[in-house]
Structure 1
């Protein structure tokens, strides 16, 4: 995709309300980081009260994935998850507008040598990530350390799309954005030895998926990770991130490349991926994006797991 460019059309009155909102957000994120964490938690508490559908989806997911927890434990996790989501709103703005030096102070990176080694060997890397609420700021912090390309879906609002893409690329100056459906473009980058952020942990329907266990539930799991690794001759390198509880920033962990991947079958690969997904989520459940119908697609004959309201 081409680099984002500012257009005179963004001064049109239909964008004025968005400009005002962005300006207010820019002012807020100039505040100290500990203050932003507190404001984010307050926003999350408000979202918990008003975002009924998302609240119900998240609660249902917690019921499905943590049946061993008591209702009280799930309620605490539920509220903490919304607090994390509120903080993520300001983390997104931090990644767009904070200076490189200010943002870099929050990074605690482990395992960068795995990406450097792949680069020296000229191998492409599928940076296998998850949809944590810290996704935006994690990508920005890692992008300061190593060039990471990303899959991208254009936003319907062109001004927001410009702000978001420009904000994402300012910490990752050499990165390239690949449209989510541009398989050829992604394979071309992998064969050229580049690293691409890719998250296989959501429900994309049955067409390109197989049903394998996730938290003990048959989940439609995309087979694209195996296909991309095989056709792009790329390594699959797991990557996780977490917001540190002491307020000191973010821990980014680049794990060793998966060995013997892809394996003999796509189903076996998906089982292996979901085992990693489940363990990673269990390590930091309050920061995962639970407001997604992960188990919406069901195997033939199985009942739906979500009601119409979530």
Structure 2
């Protein structure tokens, strides 16, 4: 009986996803804004973490309040992005991608939990996927219905996925060595043993070393990218930045130094639009078993 009930619930949620994917983006964003505020008001833990992280970043209360609605929009837009009609996407800085591709090597796209990071992979696949397919690293969902839904939605022409496993990492390296592209969220907290402690907005955060390993093992070109969510459901604007604007400080081979560089690059992107950063993400958590358990203690916040 329990199994049948679970199947019915999964089927209902899947049906709701399909139904929501038909709605206009402005309507989904309006619903998402409301859901974001409900989560903020009803969950003290969620509220405290969001406010603490914004404060750690050195940003104002107004940034925190706007980010509440943006976080809700991020969730509500997923059915449309996964199952619905294409949305409007603009580009700013796409010439940096052309420059990276001109080297004939693989390209590693790095984006923080900023804006709509789902749209960046789709936009890259749509515009550049025929010449340079992109593989994105993802953590499979726990629920079977969500796992199947995400897998089907993300696997599209020019876009492939790789799980957060050893096999997935090998898939990323193979793609880069073949001259293809890979997408990562380097501000995602890795499991113990797969990161180092490095400052992120003035506080040590456990930071993945995978980004630097991919750059050096596959001789890939790192590029920064993020998708801005435009107001009133007008679509998205993909921003592209070179990893090293001065061309004087390539990614370090030392894992800790590289983590410092990457976190600084992510900070720079967040400062472009802090209202759309996912401040509720547990960026400063200490993975079970990670060395330096006290490294995540707070340091003075950065000024802005």
Same fold (TM over 0.5): yes
Q: Structure 1 residues 190 and 88, CA, compared in 2 at 3 Å: closer, same or farther? A: same
Greater mean alpha carbon deviation, residues 269-278 or residues 47-56: 47-56
Quick check: 2:205–2:283 contact (8 Å CA) kept in 1? yes
Q: 1:139 aligns with which of 121, 130, 133?
A: 121
Call closer, same or farther: CA 1:237–1:14 in 2, change over 3 Å. same
- Asked whether 1:107 is paired with 2:89, we answer yes
1:177 aligns with 2:154: no
Work out the number of aligned pairs and report it.
283
Cα 1:32–1:152, aligned 2, differ >3 Å: closer, same or farther? Answer: closer
Gaps of at least 5 residues in structure 1 are 1-10, 306-310
Aligned to 1:8: none
Q: Does 1:65 align with 2:57?
A: yes
Once the two structures are superposed, the pairs formed by residues 92-103 of structure 1 within 5 Å of their partners are: 92-100=78-86, 103=87
- Indicate whether 1:224 and 2:224 are aligned: no
- 1:226/1:261 contact within 8 Å kept: no
Post-superposition Cα deviations, 1:139-191, rounded to whole Å, max 9, x if no partner, equal 32333222321112222222221111111223xx1322222223222111110
Deviation of 1:205 (Å)? 5.5
Check if 1:55 corresponds to 2:41.
no
Alignment of 1:170-249 (within 5 A): 170=156, 173-182=157-166, 183-204=169-190, 207-245=193-231, 247-249=233-235
Does structure 1 conserve the Cα–Cα contact (< 8 Å) formed by 2:111 and 2:185?
A: yes
- 1:30 maps to 2:22: yes
Distance 1:122 1:206 in 2: 34
Pairwise CA RMSD of aligned residues?
2.5
CA contact (8 A) 2:25 2:77 kept: no
Q: 1:226 to 1:296 in 2, by over 3 A?
A: same
Pairwise CA distance, 1:201: 1.0
CA contact (8 A) 1:81 1:288 kept: yes
Task: Give the 3 Å change call, closer, same or farther, for CA 190–45 of structure 1 in structure 2.
Answer: same
TM norm structure 2: 0.83
Cα–Cα, structure 1 residues 95 and 246, in superposed 2: closer, same or farther, change >3 Å? Answer: closer
Show structure 2 runs of 5+ residues with no match: 299-304
